[in-house]
Amino acid sequence: MIMYKIKQIIKFRLKIQGVMSKIQFRYRFLAFAVLLGALQLESCKGRKGEPSLEEKIYSTKGEITSFTDVRRDYAQYVPSGMVVIPSGTFHMGQADEDVAATQINFNKQITISAFFMDQTEVTNNQYRFFVDLLVAYAGGPTNPPADFDGPTSVDDPDYVAKVLDNLFMDQASGTPNPPVYDDVMKKFHPDTQRWLEEYAHHMGDPLMEYYYMHPAFDDYPVVGVDWYAAQQFCKWRTFHLSYYKQVLQGEPYAAPRFRLPTEAEWEYAARGGRDMAKYPWGGPYLRNTLGCMLANFKPGRGNYYDDGFAYTGPVAQYFPNDYGLYDMSGNVAEWCQDAYQETAVPVVWDLNPVFNPPISDDKSKDPNPYNRRIIRGGSWKDIAYYCETGTRTYQHWDSASTSIGFRCAMTYLGRSSGNEVKKSR
């Protein structure tokens, strides 16, 4: 009905323009007034795709709208590389003996709402795009070395305004606060030095030099990224998608924000719909019937290679779980949204729980216990215990490691039917 009215207005405008070219000058003012009225009528439209308030007042005839009168032009976009994790209830907590006697992860039945999750960890190539944009936004290094071939500016002013300026917006002043090049390298660029410093007497030079930048490692999970940088990547990814969908394509509704998964979401997704599963593949064993390892971890003392990779491996090299997620155990451990607190499990609610008090940035004393952030899934250098779906551990939010990466999540709006998993594969 609205489109019909708009078409009628356009036809009316064209008709008036034709009449104005034929009538005498003394009548043109009257015709212009009629045309102006038509333009004002057109400008009274409401939000994109919605009738104006005036149209709603007269069309409802003194009643409120029917519950069946809804906006049917919305369908949630499934971001590239993500799968839908349907709503469900499961028993969160340890799925086997508490070998370390931690007593911090007793079982608790909880419910999780549907959400999207990346099929794999964020790769070097994906993360490098983010860092390259920030380097260009910062203007590149002040005194670039002779071999510097990175970008030094972003040529699209709309992208700068809608994405990068919003990413570094000072909420108090309402103006963007762009970072300088050194800040970008310190806060967002992966800390490649960790390959040298994290392990005693270890020849990490080749990985320090090549792991992040060389094309041979493009599909390997990014590491050396702390919790804050992972959060900022999620924030940038939100603005990046919204820029394309809303600014370039003109869609009226913004997609939900990308974010890190909560600890409960991560564990629920890792089990793939199998309640109390010890590992994402469902069984209690680390090898299949052919004797092949089912994840990239440390099988034994001094043994890193029985699974096929001495360090990290390319993403999606092992079988996915029943939700279509790869590497939920092994390869790299993954940042979660929650703070690590030994007594958090009985405190949080049993519906979409999250324990996320604010962090502090006092590096001299570090008095805030909530600076410890949950990591899950175990890594290439961890024993099988840390690959279990119920094992909890942590890392400080500002500490990067060669064994920690991340993947993104996004809230699913509306009620999940449970059929999206099959459709999204």
Secondary structure element (H or E) that encloses residue 334, with its range: strand 333-339
Residue-level pLDDT at 62 = 84
**What's the maximum distance between 2 C-alpha atoms anywhere in the chain?**
98
pLDDT given at position 415: 63
* 128 closest CA partner among 195, 57, 184: 184
Query: Considering the chain, what percentage of its residues have pLDDT values greater than 70?
Result: 84
- Contact between 375 and 407 (Cβ < 8 Å): no
Q: How far apart are CA 415 and CA 280, in angstroms?
A: 25
Cα 12 to the center of its chain, rounded Å: 47
What are the residues facing 110 on neighbouring strands?
A: 90
Q: Model confidence over 197-215: pLDDT tens digits?
A: 999 999 999 999 999 999 9
Range in 69-73, 224-228, 330-334 with the lowest mean pLDDT: 69-73
Which DSSP string corresponds to 241-306? HHIIIIIIS--SSPPPPEEPPPHHHHHHHHTTT-TT-SSTTSSS-SB-TTS-BSS-S--BTTB--T
Mean pLDDT of 355-366: 76
CB 256 within 8 A of CB 223: no
Amino acid type, 235: K
Report the C-alpha gap between 272 and 266 in whole angstroms.
Answer: 10
Mean pLDDT within 248-262: 91
Report pLDDT digits (tens) over 279-309. 999 989 999 989 899 999 999 998 999 999 9
Residues linked to residue 176 through DSSP beta bridges, in sequence order: 169
pLDDT at 5 over 70: no
With 70 as the cut, is the pLDDT of residue 263 above it?
Answer: yes
Question: Residue 297 has which token pair?
Answer: 């971890």
- Could you tell me the pLDDT band of residue 253, with boundaries at 50, 70 and 90? confident
More confident residue, 423 or 366: 366
Cβ atoms of 406 and 377 closer than 8 Å: no
pLDDT at site 23: 44
Are 184 and 134 spatial neighbours (Cβ–Cβ below 8 Å)?
Answer: yes
pLDDT in tens, 312-323: 999 999 999 999
For residue 416, name the pLDDT band (cuts at 50, 70, 90).
low
Closest CA relative to residue 180, chosen from 222, 225, 143: 143
Distance CA 306, CA 383 (A): 13
Question: pLDDT: is 86 or 364 the higher one?
Answer: 86
The whole-angstrom separation of Cα 268 and Cα 408 is 15
Pairing of strands 169-170, 175-176: antiparallel
Q: What is the pLDDT of residue 145?
A: 78
* pLDDT greater than 60 at residue 189: yes
Instruction: Please report the pLDDT score of residue 400 as a whole number.
Output: 96
The string of DSSP letters for 53-82 reads HHHHHHHTTTSPPPTT----S------TTE
Q: How many CB atoms lie within 10 A of CB 65?
A: 10
> For residue 367, what are its two tokens?
């008095």
- pLDDT at position 388 is 95
Of the ranges 63-72, 287-296, 354-363, which is most confident? Answer: 287-296
Helix (H, G, I), strand (E, B) or coil at 327: coil
Q: What is the pTM of this model?
A: 0.84
Residue with tokens 């003394």: 26
Per-residue pLDDT at 423 exceeds 90: no
Query: Residue 204 CA to chain centroid, in angstroms?
Result: 30
Q: Are strands 258-259 and 409-411 parallel, antiparallel or unpaired?
A: antiparallel
77-99 average pLDDT score:
90
Distance CA(321)–CA(205), nearest Å, equals 35
Find out whether 388 and 149 touch, Cβ atoms under 8 Å: no
When the pLDDT of each residue in the chain is averaged and rounded to a whole number, the result is: 85
Residue 375 pLDDT exceeds 80: yes
DSSP-derived 3-state class of residue 328: coil
Q: What is the pLDDT of residues 105-160, one digit of tens each?
A: 889 999 999 999 999 999 999 999 999 999 999 998 887 777 777 778 898 999 99
Which residues make Cβ contacts (< 8 Å) with residue 337, sequence separation at least 6? 259, 260, 261, 262, 263, 354, 356, 374
Confidence at 254, pLDDT banded by 50, 70, 90: confident
Q: Give the pLDDT confidence of 36-60 residue by residue, as tens digits.
A: 454 444 444 455 657 788 888 888 7
pLDDT of residue 22: 46
Task: Please enumerate in sequence order all residues whose Cβ is within 8 A of that of 118, keeping only pairs 6 or more positions apart, or say none.
Answer: 81, 82, 407, 408, 409
**Cα four-point dihedral sign 4, 7, 13, 17:** negative
CB 416 within 8 A of CB 130: no
Angle at 320 between CA 315 and CA 322, to 5 degrees: 155
Q: Cβ distance 358 to 327 under 8 Å?
A: no
Question: What is the band of 19 on the pLDDT scale with cuts at 50, 70, 90?
Answer: very low
